[in-house]
Amino acid sequence: MEKDGDIAANILTAVTFLHTSQGKTDQYYRGRKGKKMSSENQKDQVLEKALNFTNSSHSLSRREFLIMTGGIIVAVSALEARGAKEVPVIILDQAEGLILADATKCVGCRRCELACTEFNDGKASPTMARIKIGRNLNFGPKGLQAGQRAQGNWGNGLIIQDLCKQCPHPVPCANACPNDAIVLSPSTNARVVDLNKCTGCKMCQRACPWEMMSFDSDTDKATKCFLCEGNPKCVEACPSGALSYVAWRDLTDKVPPRVAPTAVVSPEKAQTCIDCHRK
């Protein structure tokens, strides 16, 4: 079995060449072992290898999933970059806390969403809340596709609360941000948007597999859960005790992704990640 760095390198190189064949860029990016792969045969071999891997029955770990999808979205979406430049490696320290949800206690009142935006943004805007209840209210995370196994009010009655996982490294939203605007909160190490750096490109929204990034249309800035500096207002507002603030634990391998990420990550930043994970 190949190492995760090799997997990402294969896919990144393969889809990059697929993209160059469409005339989107005149640059070649280095493939495995630093060699330029410029012949048609080499292109076909690498592309076939990458696609065979993605179509195989191999069970992806969380790290392989994030690196593989990251490699694909880099190659397909971010090949307009020109020239080499040094890119800082983004490694965020582990968050100190996390909000846990008990779906068996949630009554779907959505007070948590209101508390989130009223406290942090000074307005009642549930759709902008960092905790997501409304989108799962009727049929659950899978929506109508769940069929007879649907959750929510029109299914088995179970209301699923979607919350930020405060991801460990690699942090998808932080890696995708072209301005490195997702940083650590000094008090909790929660991942937080630096509004002075955010340009409203929404790349972080496209990067999160659980669709937990929000966007404020009034300010044209992204926003996400930063644990209210260690005193989450959603936890305080919940009337049924369905939310709790606990010490951080990794939930990224326990909650299925809602979507496949489609963010753009610069090729330079992606290559930095690949080189690091090869070590």
pLDDT tens digits, 121-140: 999 999 999 999 999 998 88
Q: How far apart are CA 115 and CA 10, in angstroms?
A: 46
91 — pLDDT class (breaks 50, 70, 90): confident
Of the ranges 38-42, 117-121, 262-266, the best mean pLDDT one: 117-121
Q: What is the mean pLDDT of residues 179-187?
A: 93
Higher pLDDT residue, 3 or 117?
117
- What is d(CA 4, CA 209) in angstroms, rounded to the nearest whole number? 19
How many C-alpha atoms does 232 have within 13 Å on its Cβ side? 27
- Residue 22 binned pLDDT confidence (cut-offs 50, 70, 90): very low
Looking at the predicted structure, is the pLDDT value of residue 212 above 60?
yes
pLDDT confidence tier of residue 149, bands split at 50, 70 and 90: confident
> What is the pTM for the complete model shown?
0.65
